[in-house]
Structure 1
Amino acid sequence: MASTMRVRRSRSDRRRVLDAATELFLDGGLQQTTIDMVADRAGFPRKTVQRLYPIKRLLATDVAEDMCHRAVDRVRRHQPRDIDHLIDTLAIWTYVGTTRTGWVRLYNEVATVDHPYAIDTSERRERLREALSELLTNVTSCHPSRAEATADFLLTVAIGLAAQKVDSTDLQLATIRRQIGIVLRGARGT
């Protein structure tokens, strides 16, 4: 019984640390965020955070993995009614991603920490591309290879827009929707 309670507490502690680190990394970046800041935001002493994550790089990797898992899960759970609903959803996701650029900064910072983490970053992007490709195949009825290319293109454009730190006043949701519609209808062949 005591062992089960420790495991639950450890998971709960890890979740609080991940949530705190995610907020801080997205707001201020990996380099500017300290373990002390994460501990303070999570409401733990520094040594508790260091017990869970002896080095910040491991925490950053877990944050990036958690964000990827949530994004892939969101894509896989989404069941659009039709292509217009899919276009609307992708436009909203893209708009949010391009106007809240902390995730791209974190993605790039984690990738540049050192080589193994760059590989992890590529694997996370690939999982997201696969989930999006499956969604496109199911909704648009296009060939899987065409859905893969379309998913890759959409991700590349979204990451590129966010990396440019596009001013949200310059980027309109309607414009994004129109462009995604052109891409998806082209992939579908209609």
Structure 2
Amino acid sequence: MRSTVDARDRAYSDRDGTYRALLNSATTLFLTLGYEQTGLARISTHAGHSEDTVRGYYTSKNDIGHDVADHLCHHALQRLHRTRPDDNAELVTVLSRWARIAIHRPGWLRLELALAAHDGDAPLQYSLRLSRIRTALTHLLTATIPAAPGADNHQVTADFLLTMVAGLTTLHPGDAHPDHLQISTQIELVLRGATN
């Protein structure tokens, strides 16, 4: 399997934007149509390149799927690192907005699940992405809210938040998406547990 790092290195030297076009097309298709409905031929057509061009950058659909997941993780980490809420209320607002986006647009989580079902290396790569997000979220919590007396482990709070969002994302058919107030209430409860 080709490393997505190799593809990224190629992207930095790619003067004609081919890599960026392939990655953008794959991201759009995986998130809108799903992993199962997206193949290399569809990606190449969407990007305006031949399937041979796609294969010059990626050895398989799993390979490009992991690159898309890495790309989405990178953007999520950039947001986490740029965010500096002033207080707990602002933190709840920011986390609620992010959770609502994840719940209403669950393509990334579905992509991770599809990769896990089709690729033996997926659990390791997923674990690395999840660990990076958990670490960044833990730093955000540590910088924003005081820990409960005798308990300074914001990583547990980060785990609860990530688990809650994943749970809310995986609704059963016919279930209504939670509204902003319901999401905010859930996040407030988790954060209250971290500070009490």
Fold shared per TM-score above 0.5: yes
Which residue, 6, 9, 12 being the options, matches 2:15?
9
| Closer/same/farther in 2, CA of residues 167 and 146 from structure 1, 3 Å limit | farther
Structure 2 runs not aligned, ≥5 long: 1-11
Between the aligned partners of 2:94 and 2:53, the Cα distance in structure 1 is 39
Q: Find the aligned partners of 2:166 and 2:191 in 1 and give their Cα distance.
A: 18
Q: Which amino acid aligns with 2:168?
A: L
User: What RMSD, in angstroms, separates the aligned Cα atoms of the two structures?
Assistant: 2.0
Q: Look up the match of 2:43.
A: 38
2:164 counterpart residue number: 157
Deviation at 1:9? Answer: 2.0
Instruction: Give the letter aligned to residue 161 of structure 1.
Output: L
Q: How far apart are residue 159 of structure 1 and its match?
A: 0.9
Q: In the aligned structure 2, how far is the partner of 1:80 from the partner of 1:60?
A: 33
User: 1:99 matched to which residue of 2?
Assistant: 104
Q: Secondary structure at the match of 1:30?
A: coil
Measured after TM superposition, the shift of residue 63 of structure 1 is 0.6
SS of alignment partner, residue 178 of structure 2: coil
How far residue 114 of structure 1 moved from its aligned partner, in angstroms, is: 2.6
Matched, 1:173 2:173: no
Aligned position for 2:9: none
The 3-state SS of whatever aligns with 1:115 is coil
Equivalent position of 1:185 in the other structure? 192
Q: Which amino acid is 2:164 matched to? A: V
State how far apart, in whole Å, the 1-side matches of 2:80 and 2:18 are.
27
Kept in 2, the 8 Å contact 1:97–1:162? The answer is yes
Given that residues 103 and 169 in structure 2 are in contact (C-alpha distance below 8 angstroms), is that contact kept between their aligned partners in structure 1? yes
Aligned to 1:3: none
After superposition, the C-alpha distances for 1:18-61 in whole angstroms (9 at most, x for unaligned) are 11101100111112101111111112122111111121111011
Q: Corresponding residue for 1:109? A: 114
Moved over 3 A (4+): 165-170
Residue 99 of structure 1 contacts residue 168 of structure 1 at CA under 8 Å; is this kept in 2?
A: no
SS in 2 for 1:31: coil
Counterparts of 1:9 and 1:167, CA distance in 2: 47
State the aligned residue count: 183
1:137 aligns with 2:142: yes
From the two aligned structures, give the one with the greater helix fraction.
1
- Identical counterparts, % of pairs: 34
Question: Which residue is 2:87 aligned to?
Answer: 82
How far did residue 16 of structure 1 move? 1.3
Indicate conservation of the 8 Å contact 2:100/2:183, yes or no. yes
- Is residue 103–residue 177 contact of structure 2 (8 Å, CA) maintained in 1? no
The answer for unaligned runs of 5 or more in structure 1 is 1-5
Contact kept? 1:91, 1:176, Cα under 8 Å: yes
Normalising by the residue count of structure 1, what TM-score does the alignment of the two structures yield? 0.89
Cα 1:103–1:166 change in 2 (3 A) is: farther
Taking the aligned partners of 2:174 and 2:79, their CA distance within structure 1 comes to 26
1:80–1:86 contact (8 Å) kept in structure 2:
yes
- 1:160 is displaced (CA, Å) by 1.5
Q: Distance in 1 between matches of 2:44 and 2:172?
A: 29
